[in-house]
């Protein structure tokens, strides 16, 4: 698969991985739609990209998942089609289960899960009508196994795998592709913006995230996985091995996570 002449729609494009994707994809002779909540930040990302005449911005909030049909209608007006949807938008969480308000769990599910699948379902008829389309979903290593202090985040990311595995099966006949991208630690602001027990932001970086992959390194590996149309790609330093340890030695992974600095 090539990105040349494709229309690629990126959510969560205002910072971190989404911004890194925009910067890299703008070099690859494709058209981009950049989405996030903050219009001004999206404009800044667009202006930082090369080939900005082939970039449009479409601000919206994933939490408003009832509006996704209208959002898709607006997206299709920009270039007439969408070829690849990169579901990158979302938030994280850092708090003990016993202290965490159920409102935090609800917000994580609304944004990370319901917002993502509502957008994907709204775009689905377009993909089916064209008999082509590629969903790329930025999940997490935490979508394959869990760790302390991330219960709501892990729950939402695990749910994404269940939904998109079903979508891949149902629409194999329509030539649709699904690639689940599972980052380990990437040096972004995800920890600073993570919700704590009362729903406020954590506000500081954690050591594991700060020592994670640089965004540009991660993005290059991610785009390689998309080109290869992989079903799943685990991208990190050492932490990706946890997926395989969980599969064959779940008790060992339990002990390793407890001993690590992840929490």
pLDDT means over runs of 10, the chain (263 residues): 95 98 96 98 95 95 97 98 98 97 98 98 98 98 95 98 98 98 95 95 90 95 98 92 92 91 52
- Residue 263's pLDDT is 46
Give the pTM. Answer: 0.95
Helices (H), 140-259: 151-170, 207-210, 215-227, 241-248, 250-259
- Tokens 């969560």 belong to residue: 12
- Residue 253's pLDDT is 92
Q: Active-site positions?
A: 153
What residue ranges define each of the domains in the chain, with the CATH number in brackets? 7-259 (3.40.50.720)
Buried b (16+ CB within 10 A) or exposed e, 162-182: ebbeebbeebeeeebbbbbbb
């Amino acid at each position: 698969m090539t990105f040349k002449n494709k229309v690629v729609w990126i959510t969560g494009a205002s910072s971190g991985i989404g911004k890194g994707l925009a910067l890299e994809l703008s070099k690859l002779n494709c058209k981009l739609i950049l989405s996030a909540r903050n219009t001004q930040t999206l404009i800044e990302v667009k202006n930082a990209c090369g080939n900005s005449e082939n970039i449009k911005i479409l601000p919206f909030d994933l939490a408003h998942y009832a509006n996704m049909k209208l959002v898709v209608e607006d997206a299709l007006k920009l270039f007439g089609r969408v070829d690849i949807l990169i579901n990158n938008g979302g938030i994280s969480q850092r708090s003990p289960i016993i202290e965490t308000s159920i409102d935090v769990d609800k917000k994580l599910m609304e944004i990370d899960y319901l917002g993502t699948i509502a957008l994907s379902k709204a775009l689905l008829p377009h993909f089916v009508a064209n008999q082509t389309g590629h969903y790329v979903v930025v999940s997490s290593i935490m979508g394959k196994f869990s760790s302390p202090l991330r219960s709501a985040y892990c729950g939402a990311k695990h749910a994404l795998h269940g939904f998109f595995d079903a979508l891949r099966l149902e629409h194999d006949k329509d030539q649709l592709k699904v690639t689940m991208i599972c980052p380990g630690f990437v040096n972004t602001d995800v920890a600073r913006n993570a919700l704590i027990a009362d729903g406020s932001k954590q506000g500081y970086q954690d050591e594991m995230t700060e020592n994670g992959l640089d965004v540009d390194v991660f993005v290059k590996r991610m785009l390689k996985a998309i080109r290869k149309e992989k079903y799943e790609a685990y991208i990190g330093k050492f932490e990706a091995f946890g997926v395989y340890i969980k599969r064959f030695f779940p008790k060992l992974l339990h002990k390793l996570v407890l001993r690590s600095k992840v929490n």
